[in-house]
Amino acid sequence: MIKGFYAAASAMVTNMQRQMVLTHNIDNLETPGFKQILTSMDDFVDTPVTTNRQAINLPELPAILRSRGFNKLSRIGDLGLGVMSGDETTDFTEGSVQITNRELDVAVLGNGFFRVQTDAGERYTKDGRFIKDATGVLKTVEGYNVLAEGGGTITLPAGEIGISKNGQITVNGEDVARLGIAYFDDPATALTRDGANTYTGTGAQTGGTNVIVQQYALESSNSDLTQIMTRMIQVNRAYEAAQRLVQQQDSLLGQSISTLGRF
């Protein structure tokens, strides 16, 4: 009975955690370059249920019974001990391209990511909402320095800014710098989320053939509201079902205690 209580309670906790992830995806529906988080559920380690013939105090079993394994463990099945949240993964499918007509809005398509410098070190992002600070240094809207191909910061003089498909930046037709673009063969295995919209990773390459930079545009979030709401309904129903099981287990436990108290 207690195991049933814990199993149902673990389902409630797990579905609360799934709901928090779905809410985070909803909050970032309008965040350029955001990649939705996917969740899974895992079972706690199942406990094998066995019969133990040796536990029966019959040390002198007839030989015929002993030969048939009646003095050994006999597996009946497994007893589940509840569920828990599995690994969170990031869905790196490409979002749609939104034309903004703003010269410092940049989308990087394919498996490319902008290289930015944060307080914690170099990070990667798909969010191409760039700005210039008072000294002309190119930054993200969060205030991170956008890195050039060689790793330094990018300083833009006044003038008309152009950004080519390979990330080359010009001002009034003169080359200034090239955007630092990191390319990953498989972002899902190479990158780890570090913050709301930045990643750490290993195996970064440059010059990926399927990487295209597009000025005056942003890559939209790949969160899909319809899918999220469908999952949210499923999670809420699972939570409510587990909640009812907890209430039933609590009621049964109370009845058992009351019954035992009469003896």
Residue 220 and residue 150 in contact, taking contact as beta carbons nearer than 8 Å: no
What pLDDT score was predicted for residue 57? 42
Give pLDDT tens digits for 111-165: 999 999 999 999 999 999 999 999 999 999 999 999 999 999 999 999 999 999 9
Q: How confident is the model at residue 53 (pLDDT cuts 50, 70, 90)?
A: very low
The mean predicted confidence, pLDDT, of the chain is: 84
What pLDDT score was predicted for residue 237? 93
Residue 129 and residue 218 in contact, taking contact as beta carbons nearer than 8 Å: yes
Q: How far apart are CA 158 and CA 136, in angstroms?
A: 8
The stretch 15-34 carries a mean pLDDT of: 94
Phi and psi dihedrals of 220, rounded to 5?
A: -75, 165
Whether the pLDDT of residue 101 is over 80: the answer is yes
Whether the pLDDT of residue 190 is over 80: the answer is yes
- Burial code of 206-237, b = ≥16 C-beta within 10 A, e = fewer? eebeebebbbebbbbbbbbeeebeebbeebee
Q: What percent of the chain has a predicted confidence (pLDDT) above 70?
A: 79
Using CA atoms, how far residue 225 sits from 44, 67, 68, 107, 220, in Å, is 31, 63, 60, 22, 13
Strand partners for 124: 115, 199
Whether the pLDDT of residue 236 is over 80: the answer is yes
